[in-house]
Structure 1
């Protein structure tokens, strides 16, 4: 596979093979027998803040022997007003083997696909997609559950702005399973694929019909003109001892 921008680039068989292979890699890691990549270079271009995703990628690259070239926007010519097009064109001239991009704008990935000659990995695209997070989530679930058949997973919270939820719903759907969803009306997505989701109008009903709950944070950085009373939201929808 070349670019990995969206979880839907993988069919069900490919997705399951990736998850299965991750267990093989995990065993090799604990046996200190990981196959290393020699002379491979990977650019990191994170245009949004990241702790978990970026650190996970860095650790994975370290384990695999991959050199990381970290292009920080605040320390690059982008601070001077250089466009994303010019930045990517410059990076395209270097002898590297791939790039990991995170951006608030999905259009940046379309621009990157048109410019770059090496593979692109999506580490978070606006509110659209986060495919590598879905792989991680499915791997974690596979450690706990041998079979996803009939598994009731619920995602609750800010569904409208969550790329994590958007990608997970599609990924879990490839196992033939529906994801349970709940959000208050102001966080409900405008479009829902009812073939792969069950939407609940009642928070407690959703939680009661769950084997696994994924609670989403409110993405304050994406709310713009949406007026939300955060204290009221927490009092009604926080996962706590009541549940």
Structure 2
């Protein structure tokens, strides 16, 4: 990667955390202010950056346009739009649609909870595979060799006291997900949030996305959340049907 491109991407990444000063962006990119200013002028000319005042910057409209185009190319987003809104209306809780991107998960759509207490997330956010229900649902049905390779490749940052911490633990959890037909996050990513997720399949039967239902524990305990599994599975079945696939019934009624 060229040095200028790498620095420009670093600047955009820093702006993703919110508006920044010229000094702050120069520090983030590890360059002199004059070099940072040249980068910013190029980005501003192409609408990737917008200047506010003398030396304050924020992300520009071109970046949002590109992001929306990229997300619109994910067919599952269109297929899921109606079903996930119906699920959100029926349950009142936060719904996510996620896809795998490398060794992480990225949210491609979301419907917010109608409750005042809710989890923080956003479309485009990347989260780990090993401690999220969507991550487990996405990789549980990969071929065994792929699961093994992935489990031994990824890192296992401990997000909470409940986070899976090793490849053997993760593989055992994926086996449970395969048996049940859905995944559970019991406060593993955020200790005050628990989630359930199920896979979405295309016409070839391949898992192409996952849909999750996330609830703060103060609003609903784990038994109440698991009581919503059938609603979740109906939703993923509808989305799969839109993509030409079919929903596989769960084998894990005893685990609910």
Q: Same fold (TM over 0.5)?
A: no
The structure with the larger Rg is: 2
Task: Indicate the structure with greater strand content.
Answer: 2
The TM-score with structure 1 as length reference comes to 0.28
Q: Which has the higher contact order (CA 8 A, sep 6+)?
A: 1
The TM-score with structure 2 as length reference comes to 0.27
